[in-house]
Amino acid sequence: MVELKKGAHIHFMGICGTAMASLAGLMKDKGFKVTGSDQNVYPPMSTQLAEKGISIMEGYSASHLEPRPDFVVVGNVISRHFEQAQALLKSDIPYASLPETVGERVIENRHSIVVAGTHGKTTTTSMASWVCEKEGLKPGFLIGGIAKNFSQSFQLPKGDFFVIEGDEYDTAFFAKVPKFLYYRPRSVILTSVEFDHADIYRDLDHVIEAFAGLLKIIPPQDGLLIYNSEDQNIKKILPLYSGKKVSYGFKEGDWTTRNIEFLHQGVEFDILYKGEFRDKLFVPMFGEYNVTNALAVYILAQERGFKLNLKEAFSEFKGVKRRQELIGEPRGIQVIEDFAHHPTAVKATIESFKKRKNSGKLFVIFEPRSNTSRKSIFQEDYTQALRGGDVILIAKPIVKEQDKASEGLNVDKMVAELNQTQSASVFENVEEAIEQVHQKARAKDTVLIMSNGGFQGIYQKILTRLDQA
């Protein structure tokens, strides 16, 4: 590992990625000079970086490596053929990937709590960070979103714990392995294993193989694996870890739930251990998945001997920006923003909102934007997932260069199928969708916006329009 003295210049290539921006902030807080370059600069990460006084250069020109930095962190959005990447490779500037840098320079020998799985990583990592903070552990954390209890996605550790979102996506163009393999896990929460990231993984077996690698590096002596016992793919890899394992689920596992109530401002449920009642929690968040996300963090606190008041901690949890976040309630119409990246999560989220007491119609505005959702591979799954909405509005996906080699998502076909039972339509400009909602939505209705991007600035636009009579 290259030694970096305080004040050394670190440059981030692809700095506006959620994890990259977080690490950049951590490095700034550690006393380094930080700069970055990116070609997709938009909030909330651009805002977070600006608040830290970190300058961002537009694009990936070789000139952005001047003046010469002491070290470069290369994000996984960077391809070998990029001009800046070519210039880096030809130079003698030391460089590393984000996960390698996090492991070596931030986590170090601390107790690393890694939250992994296809679904729920960001929210569960945020909950775990908050519980550790309330316990007084002064933890560091790196989250794939902005935790509202902290107002940012990272925190420099002042104690012996570090909480991190364990992404299975690949590391960098020079390291085609899952990010979480660098995070030195001691306690692991594994929420789910499904096929995702079709641009990285061949099939489900390839995904399972990646998570198997994570289980192999948890230390059996003092390690801990908290896993979703209702996930059949997780069960396939459990024998690979010989240390302590604790299971959870809605109905199956050491820890389970019952009496789940979906309320207008959150979810309340009972917690059982081996069938016996232990606690009742209220979490001011929406979505069925957040029941088991909270349960997993509750178990972590119990297993690691935390002494805090867990009921109080969970009731004070404010959630994560863009994860089922209530962004406004104009004229009594709740507007929710959700990151939505996988049909299973989309389906569960919609079903949870439909179960809430005293709620009206559910308007779903969906943008297929991720590399996987723009492909036809999940077309039928997304169609079925969206059926729970009363009014469904789907954005025409933007066709990118890498999409042309494979069959893309046919949203017109999806809408035709959905219209057999629901009201569904396609739109190109968000103003079309906003106007439909403005005409049809009434007090107690909910508008659920599902996208993992800026979505043509729909969020503020729809709040402004709905506020008008």
Q: CA–CA separation, 139 vs 312, rounded Å?
A: 19
SS3 322: coil
Q: How confident is the model over 281-310, as a mean pLDDT?
A: 94
The whole-angstrom distance between residue 332's C-alpha and the CA centroid of its chain comes to: 28
pLDDT 10s digits, 61-99: 999 999 999 999 999 999 999 999 999 999 999 999 999
Strand 224-228 versus strand 255-263 pairing type: unpaired
Q: CA–CA separation, 40 vs 178, rounded Å?
A: 23
Q: How confident is the model over 411-417, as a mean pLDDT?
A: 92
Q: CA–CA separation, 211 vs 241, rounded Å?
A: 11
Helix (H) or strand (E) holding 255: strand 255-263
Tell whether omega for the bond before 99 is within 30 degrees of 0, i.e. cis: no
Q: How confident is the model over 41-68, as a mean pLDDT?
A: 87
Of the listed ranges 130-139, 337-346, 363-372, the one predicted with least confidence: 337-346
Q: What is the pLDDT of residue 264?
A: 78
Q: What is the pLDDT of residue 54?
A: 93
Tokens encoding 469: 């009579």
Which is higher by pLDDT, 100 or 406?
A: 100
> Is residue 160 over pLDDT 90?
yes
Q: CA–CA separation, 186 vs 111, rounded Å?
A: 6
Q: CA–CA separation, 414 vs 368, rounded Å?
A: 12
Round the average pLDDT of the chain to a whole number and report it: 92
Tokens encoding 105: 């320079």
Which amino acid, residue 258? Answer: R
Q: CA–CA separation, 124 vs 137, rounded Å?
A: 18
> Is residue 46 over pLDDT 90?
no
> Is residue 403 over pLDDT 70?
no
Tokens encoding 299: 């178990």
Q: What is the pLDDT of residue 402?
A: 57
SS3 245: strand
Helix (H) or strand (E) holding 291: helix 289-303
What is 105-163 written as a DSSP string? IIITTSEEEEEESSSSHHHHHHHHHHHHHHTT---EEEEEEEETTTTEEEE--SSSEEE
